[in-house]
Structure 1
């Protein structure tokens, strides 16, 4: 027999598709647990700035005691005034004494608040910088497959969006909680001694409003968390409409109306959801505000009715002031707790990202060889992208010989670029293994391997840094050796004379994103990317469409440099243009992730297979028709 539900407990399952009932006690528990994330943030603040955090804590405790001091002094001041009014002797000394104390208390309060504010700004700034650094550091340790995962992208974007202000807000609300707990306790103790009924009503008055704030914050978090991808899509369309690299196509193809339509549609959905949330929150807030006002009036009425006797005027004044301070303190305390609860929901975005499991790639202790002797061997290698139902590479076996340039060709989607990324362990094979001189890649230190594998990516990065930095980034871990090699690499790609003629030479800002920047053509950017690859002493060089943006003459000059066989170095050239492929010593032909042909140009043309068809298709348009060379007669 099924156990009967316990009385007084609401079920948490859905019945008939209705709304899930929420246990009020669980809400109170969550509110009571709200300081926990704040305490964690306080620990992070302490690690980032101990002196500033200590100053914030001390000033918060002192500021919390000031309201009780003010109530006590106000009561004493009122008593002195009443005595002076009923006495025939002058009482100016007592009055001025208490008035002076009140003035000093007010001045001290303002100075302490200023000190607290300055220390808080310092802590918030350093805390945000500390956590932002953690996020970027964590992102830099992910594998390429993780970075390409849309879920991790969403998590990263949420963390980056919140880290700038949420931790600081949570720290501020924790400090406010500490201050208001002290104020609440000290003022509450005074009011309790005067009239416990008034104290209870004053404490309860802010509760309905705070409950409304908690529910509103929870709704806001749920809304934002559920539309992370929608926000990214909006950012994408805004990027298309504002960045030079995309605006050329937007203008050329008259895409502005399309961009605007998508932008408006996304904005309409976001704004519509915001308005619906605002209406729901308004309907929730009205009864809560009314209830708060009713409790406040009840507290004041109770105090007045209890103090109608003229002899209790000073006490009544103290009670009325204490009611205001206690309610203000309770309001701020509950508000701080509810704010902490809401902000910790959003701060989860940062903590969730930092908690994403980063499983380091397995690595050994061997240094990657400066010169390769036997070669790089792919042994029955397969690779599938996460979530994909097909192989990008399937059971591929071949050996890349040092001192040779090996070209890789194939139709789009054949797995050519994936092959290159496996060499530097940007991806890990899902089957088979890759060995260098008989040693598995995983047996080498990862940093040593990455330093010895050099890339020219098809989608290279246009770094909005100085021209010299665009090259020296290829040698960032050997900065002491970079100075002379940057210019040498620039000369090799034919960019030195152009760079030397720029306003600040190699120190000139590249790109127009920042003030004073100089824009380069697509071919010039590509040559900088090639120089970035050539500046390092690599024993494996992967070149993925390295001359796609270059003119024919520049391409020929660069190919002489790029395809010069170097003893001890493995060179892999991924290309569609046969002007590049023809310079290779050997060609690997891929089709749908499989190696289908292997040989030099003449051998592959003799096979009459995929390579021959691709070559003929590409060169047919460039070969003159019969009789065209002599002209019409």
Structure 2
């Protein structure tokens, strides 16, 4: 068992990475960490002093007798000092608890912010990976209370360790065998707790995917995203039953371990209690035989239960800390993740010319964990001042191409150039400002209309409110925003109070307004008019053509009405460019473009 216990301790230090946790706490609240250490030492010293003064008081009374008036001043002084140290002890303990709470709160806020910073820094590939979501789930499961618990537990372990040394020295002064015997009886309980904490952590790891699945089922029932379909198809109770089945499976796994742990803790706690009373019996017999002083007996009956409690608290604290190792480890796993899109050591400055082209040259792309290329040998150009279109059926690779242009992924081979310079040589932050994309699954932000539009150029501090109105006018958003009582301050959606829901077509116009508000050189619209009526779509493209200037626009669609007025069109078929030319030239070829848009298929 000793070898197994040592193995658990070694695993504890490896998994928890104590040094790194201390650095994290120090970074989050260095001042409060130092203050809490100081108060731990003061609190422990006062606790030791109050007990030792009581021992001296009992020794004085037993040595000279309670009726000896000559020793009355000494007795009174000892009483006063003991009372004062006790008062100071409880006062310092209360202040220490506040300090720990404040330190833990600062650590919690720091960890929460660092999780968000880490998530923001990662590229899109992580958000298409189940492994990443497992790590993120475990890291976020720390919640706001987990850092507090870790800080408080580590402080308690430090405090109990200091007190154990002080009180242990008292017990050793009575009889050196008392403390080792007591510790020996408490170790089995600690071993059982650490062992089952390890088992629970393994279970948590294996249950992460199921936990995420249950969370997804819960969100289907409670969120507004699928509310219409769930009620329309009567799916609520079916999904609820699946959710309950998953939760019961998770619960059964945890309860099975809890039953085993409870049984073994009863056994080890009984052993520890037996050791406790064995030590009491040893002292009691010693007092009868006159080998122990009255002061030592008083000290024993004060210090011994305290030391037993401290050892139990240490056991509980270490096992609690060990239990949290899966969350701490996942937290550091998240912090250690790095973007797959490397940043140049010395980024090139962005081109300053008025007319700049964006070009793909022999680009190939395979998604991570995939074997089949999604795009093969793609070469196309977005010239300044032109509208280019990409057409293709569903699954042809249009949205993937858009992700590459936005540098959400890098090509597997080939290159994308801006003004004949590989975009990898620019800072990704600078490059992203050159592209404004309206995705097919565009964001619907439950914030004000003004914020929804301002997100197109959120980093600029010199933009005027009138420019928001102009972007809304150019996209047709003003047609419904002007009817709102609060105008551009109206909160969109129904999640928050006073929110205003609109149709999907109006949401789409709002997303397009973001693109018009942007100062980017390139606008990419991915099926961005799919929810617009024919008139709104025509007005949008007329507006785009009129205001394009030196910017370039890329229209991605499978609708003829959205692409026929483009200056140049590329036909994408199964990840390859099969045809290219103007609308009239492609129709004349009577190839895949013609087949997609011929009169039999319709010209939507």
**After the TM superposition, which residues 463-478 of structure 1 pair with which residues of structure 2 at under 5 Å, given as runs?**
463-478=445-460
Residue of structure 2 aligned with 1:528, choices 470, 495, 510: 510
**After the TM superposition, which residues 87-106 of structure 1 pair with which residues of structure 2 at under 5 Å, given as runs?**
87=67, 89=69, 93-106=73-86
Residue of structure 1 aligned with 2:216, choices 222, 236, 249: 236
Evaluate the alpha carbon distance shift between residue 101 and residue 514 of structure 1 in structure 2; reply closer, same or farther with a 3 A threshold: farther
SS in 2 for 1:129: helix
Matched, 1:319 2:294: no
CA displacement at 1:572 relative to structure 2: 0.6
Residue of structure 1 aligned with 2:570, choices 582, 588, 594: 588
Residue of structure 2 aligned with 1:410, choices 371, 388, 392: 392
Match of 1:600? 582
Matched, 1:26 2:7: yes
Which range is displaced more, 509-518 or 359-368?
Answer: 359-368
Match of 2:375? 393
Contact 1:376–1:436 (Cα < 8 Å) also in 2? yes
SS in 2 for 1:74: helix
Question: C-alpha separation between the residues in 1 aligned to 2:109 and 2:96?
Answer: 20
**After the TM superposition, which residues 81-120 of structure 1 pair with which residues of structure 2 at under 5 Å, given as runs?**
81-82=61-62, 86-87=66-67, 89=69, 93-120=73-100
SS in 2 for 1:402: coil
CA deviations on 1:233-270 (whole Å, 9 max, x unpaired) are 11111111111121111111111133123212211211
CA deviations on 1:430-465 (whole Å, 9 max, x unpaired) are 121122332222233322211111110111111222
CA displacement at 1:574 relative to structure 2: 0.7
Matched, 1:42 2:19: no
Match of 1:127? 107
Match of 1:205? 185
Which range is displaced more, 299-308 or 93-102?
Answer: 93-102
Give the TM-score normalised by the residue count of structure 2: 0.93
Length, aligned pairs only: 602
Match of 2:465? 483
Which range is displaced more, 383-392 or 521-530?
Answer: 521-530
SS in 2 for 1:517: coil
Match of 2:322? 341
CA displacement at 1:578 relative to structure 2: 2.0
Match of 2:260? 280
SS in 2 for 1:167: helix
Match of 1:301? 281
Question: C-alpha separation between the residues in 2 aligned to 1:92 and 1:35?
Answer: 58
Match of 1:51? 31
Contact 2:5–2:191 (Cα < 8 Å) also in 1? no
Match of 1:7? none
CA displacement at 1:348 relative to structure 2: 0.4
Residue of structure 2 aligned with 1:578, choices 536, 560, 584: 560
Match of 2:364? 382
Match of 1:178? 158
CA deviations on 1:104-150 (whole Å, 9 max, x unpaired) are 23322221122111111111111122222222222222221233222
Question: C-alpha separation between the residues in 1 aligned to 2:503 and 2:136?
Answer: 32
Question: C-alpha separation between the residues in 2 aligned to 1:550 and 1:69?
Answer: 80
Match of 2:538? 556
Question: C-alpha separation between the residues in 1 aligned to 2:269 and 2:485?
Answer: 65
SS in 1 for 2:502: coil
Which range is displaced more, 280-289 or 498-507?
Answer: 498-507
SS in 2 for 1:335: helix
Alignment root-mean-square deviation, CA:
2.6
Give the TM-score normalised by the residue count of structure 1: 0.89
Unaligned stretches of 5+ residues in structure 1 = 1-9, 11-20, 623-633
Question: C-alpha separation between the residues in 2 aligned to 1:556 and 1:163?
Answer: 49
Evaluate the alpha carbon distance shift between residue 409 and residue 80 of structure 1 in structure 2; reply closer, same or farther with a 3 A threshold: same
